[in-house]
């Protein structure tokens, strides 16, 4: 399953549309006013299905992920000099990627690849392609990509 995660060009808060391979809107991501960054993910029927919320009192950037109302885990930036590293505390997943965070993969603890993410260059806004091997992992993978993008945006 392939998702196209595209930031809207002119929005007051972070706002993204997520499309499937046919160009249909699958998810909409909307930024909310909050202490720290808060991004809510809505399905095509406008039901809130996930949230990525920044923990404001932490030494390094930490983003909590909620699937529905349930806490699913967090993404925490690790201290590193060259290659950005993250601790992912949900679904036994880890991320392996490049220096610019444009191309990376999400793996399960046993080494099974869950998703491959690549940034499409030469686009007006940030656009990521998310290739998910199992459609059931699409929403958690999307939430993870949003958390990493939010941390990167905060750093820039």
For residue 123, is pLDDT > 60?
no
Query: Please, which residues have CB within 8 angstroms of residue 50's CB and are 6 or more apart in sequence?
Result: 40, 41, 65, 66, 67, 68, 72, 139, 142, 143
Straight-line distance from the first to the last Cα atom of the chain, in angstroms, rounded to the nearest whole number: 30
- Name the CATH architecture for the domain at 2-155: Beta Barrel (2.40)
Q: Which of the two residues, 62 and 139, has the higher pLDDT score?
A: 139
- Tens digits of per-residue pLDDT, 73-108? 888 877 777 666 667 888 888 888 774 567 889 999
Claim: this prediction has a pTM higher than 0.85:
no
- If pLDDT is split at 50, 70 and 90, which confidence band does 127 have? confident
Report, as an integer, the average pLDDT of 55-60.
Answer: 74
């Amino acid at each position: 399953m392939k998702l196209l995660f595209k930031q809207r060009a002119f929005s007051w808060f972070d706002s993204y549309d997520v499309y499937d391979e046919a160009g249909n809107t699958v998810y909409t991501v909307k930024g909310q006013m909050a202490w720290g960054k808060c991004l809510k993910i809505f399905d095509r029927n406008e039901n809130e299905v996930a949230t990525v919320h920044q923990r404001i009192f932490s030494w390094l950037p930490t983003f909590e992920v909620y699937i529905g109302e349930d806490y699913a885990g967090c993404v925490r930036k690790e201290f590193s000099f060259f290659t950005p590293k993250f601790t992912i505390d949900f679904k036994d997943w880890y991320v392996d990627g490049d220096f610019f965070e444009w191309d990376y993969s999400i793996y399960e603890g046993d080494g099974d690849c869950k998703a491959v993410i690549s940034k499409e260059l030469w686009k007006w806004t940030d656009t990521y392609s998310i290739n998910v091997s199992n459609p059931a992992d699409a929403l958690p993978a999307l939430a993870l990509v949003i958390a990493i993008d939010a941390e990167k945006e905060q750093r820039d």
